[in-house]
Amino acid sequence: SVFVAFLQHTGIKIPSVLHLLTSVWFYIALFCFIGVVILLYYLRKTLFFYERVKGFVLNIWEGIMSLKSVRNIPLFIFYTLAIWACYFFHFYFTFYCFAFTAHLGMIAALIMFVGGTFAVIVPTPNGAGPWHFAIISMMMLYGVNVTDAGIFALIVHGIQTFLVVLLGVYGLAALPFANRHRK
């Protein structure tokens, strides 16, 4: 009786609450709500995008934490910047190999390089596809026709990929010699 008096005093009428709890529509809505919550829970656990983002963030965190084991941080930073500078200058100097890009300046190269770098983040082998799309689109903004831009993108990407493979094979072949001298 105390609870009934409290509920009536606060404006909640017992017959309307009881009518709600005995309504078929209430249980249908409750069942649907519970089903959606369960579905979202399992989708969150198994959803490809969720796992992909989670793995990406964990890999970045692991990479950042691995810097603790680097013995010479300034040298590491220097090599990192030098590698990116070599990539950029390779991209920029290639402008002078073609008449249709020779007039583009360093700022245009930097803009295209940054855009292409972000396009490589898309999970494809060596950025093939998204990188080409980004470079072709940006070159068209600078007045280069689509065919010439496509030729440029294919040649530059092909040379860069070949260089990475070549240096990777060299590194793989040189690794036993470098490890033998350390022992």
pLDDT in tens, 10-42: 666 666 666 667 778 778 888 999 999 888 887
Residues 33 and 113 in one domain: no
Report pLDDT for 127: 77
Residues 24 and 109 in one domain: no
Residues 118 and 107 in one domain: yes
Report pLDDT for 130: 87
pLDDT in tens, 101-111: 999 989 999 99
Task: State pTM to two decimals.
Answer: 0.60
Residues 65 and 77 in one domain: no
Residues 90 and 140 in one domain: yes
What backbone torsions phi and psi does residue 16 show, to the nearest 5 degrees?
A: -70, -35
- State the burial class of residue 13 (Cβ atoms within 10 Å of its Cβ: 0-12, 13-18, 19+): exposed
* Structural domain harbouring 119: 72-182
H or E segment to which residue 25 belongs: helix 24-46
pLDDT in tens, 145-166: 999 999 999 999 999 889 889 9
Calpha distance 142→118 (Å, rounded): 19
- For the ranges 37-51, 59-73, 143-157, 167-181, which has the lowest average pLDDT? 37-51
Q: What is the dihedral of CA 123, 124, 128, 130, to 10 degrees?
A: -40
Domain end position, chosen among 18, 37, 69: 69
Calpha distance 39→52 (Å, rounded): 19
- pLDDT above 70 for 6: no
Residues 14 and 89 in one domain: no
Residues 55 and 124 in one domain: no
Report pLDDT for 83: 92
Please provide the average confidence, as pLDDT, over all residues in the chain: 85
Confidence band for 7, pLDDT divided at 50, 70 and 90: low
Residues 84 and 166 in one domain: yes
Calpha distance 128→161 (Å, rounded): 10
Report pLDDT for 94: 92
Task: List own/partner pairs for 133-141 with CB under 8 A and 24 or more apart.
Answer: 138/111, 138/112, 139/101, 139/112
Residues 14 and 32 in one domain: yes
Domain count for the chain: 2
Ramachandran category for residue 124: left, alpha or beta (phi over 0 → left; psi -120 to 50 → alpha): beta
